[in-house]
Amino acid sequence: MTNELQIYIDGKYYPKSEAKISVYDHGFLYGDGVFEGIRAYNGVVFKLKEHIDRLYRGAHAIMLNIPMSKEEMVQAVVETLRKNNMKDSYIRLVVSRGTGDLGLDPRKCPKATVIIIADTINIKAGNASETGVTALITWVRRNPVDGTTSEVKSLNYLNSIMGKLEANAAGADEAICLEQNGYIAEGVGENIFIVKNGEILTPPSSTGALEGITSDAVLKLCDKLKIKVTVTNLTAYMLFTADEAFFTGTAMEVVPIREANKRVIGSGKPGPVTKKLMVEFKKVIADPANGVQI
């Protein structure tokens, strides 16, 4: 095949059709590893260093030794984009525990596997930015923070997959997970915010929610725009009766939520605070200072 994507695996590049890992890799066998989803816009990898920092924090939390420095990882991501001649891309950076045996003992894996894929992604439904998305609060609770917590962006995403399956079955665009006490944690792949009386509220990471790179950028925008933000536990009632609600995430960026569990949120259309943040976030993306040049 010609013009195939080139996939980085442990320092070498392989055509997409030949990019393979061992069936004994613990990432495949046990979901044992960490990953990042990263975006490149117009020749700049957005918040790359922040993504790399989070990757290494997650690896530290699960005692996974990444066999590269952060600087080497940054360069590997940039070089993968150059190899594929991509200026606009969705990048999937994966570090698994590596090849071991059929037992789960991590000591049997002498070296981690590092994979970098540069491709595209589209998880928004239709013109979601203009119309908003529908959401369903799923029965699938977020994993507790003393277990496979979603604070670590691990390869074990079954918790999110189960929530997404329920949303799909109900015809909703996205699922929202509660934590063990019934408070809202996050979407299955996004952070969540609500707007009430011009003030923004968002759950704390103690719910097990991932500390999002996009959500952090939005919080900084709120500070710049003098929009009050309160980090607090959110109930389903607070979501249903909010004036506005929106998701943030690397793939989704900033997307309004127009409906949750068949309850219309606010007017059912993107609200003024959400629309303002969407406009300002586009400016953040367009600023080369907020990323690493390819």
Give the burial string for 26-44 (b: 16+ CB within 10 Å, else e): bbbbbebbbbbbbbbbeeb
The helix-helix angle for 272-286 and 213-224 (nearest 10°) equals 110
- Contact (Cβ atoms closer than 8 angstroms) between residue 121 and residue 246: no
Q: Of 83, 108, 111, 153, which is the active-site residue?
A: 153
Nearest CA to 96 out of 179, 4, 1, 9 is that of 9
Q: Domain 128-286 - what CATH class?
A: alpha beta
Active site residue 153: yes
**Phi and psi dihedrals of 83, rounded to 5?**
-55, -35
Separation in Å, CA 7 to CA 96, 262, 272: 15, 42, 42
Nearest CA to 294 out of 118, 84, 93, 79 is that of 79
List the chain pLDDT tens, one digit each, 294 residues. Answer: 458 999 999 999 999 999 999 999 999 999 999 999 999 999 999 999 999 999 999 999 999 999 999 999 999 999 999 999 999 999 999 999 999 999 999 999 999 999 999 998 876 666 888 899 999 999 999 999 888 889 999 999 999 999 999 999 999 999 999 999 999 999 999 999 999 999 999 999 999 999 999 999 999 999 999 999 999 999 999 999 999 999 999 999 999 999 999 999 999 999 999 999 999 999 999 999 999 999
Quote the CA–CA distance of 48 and 188 in Å, as a whole number.
22
- Listed in order, the ranges of the chain carrying CATH 3.30.470.10 are 6-119
Q: What's the CATH number of domain 6-119, 3.90.25.10, 1.10.357.10, 3.30.470.10, 3.40.640.10?
A: 3.30.470.10
For 85, counting Cβ atoms within 10 Å of its Cβ (0-12 exposed, 13-18 middle, 19+ buried), the class is: exposed
Q: What is the pTM of this model?
A: 0.94
- Listed in order, the ranges of the chain carrying CATH 3.20.10.10 are 128-286
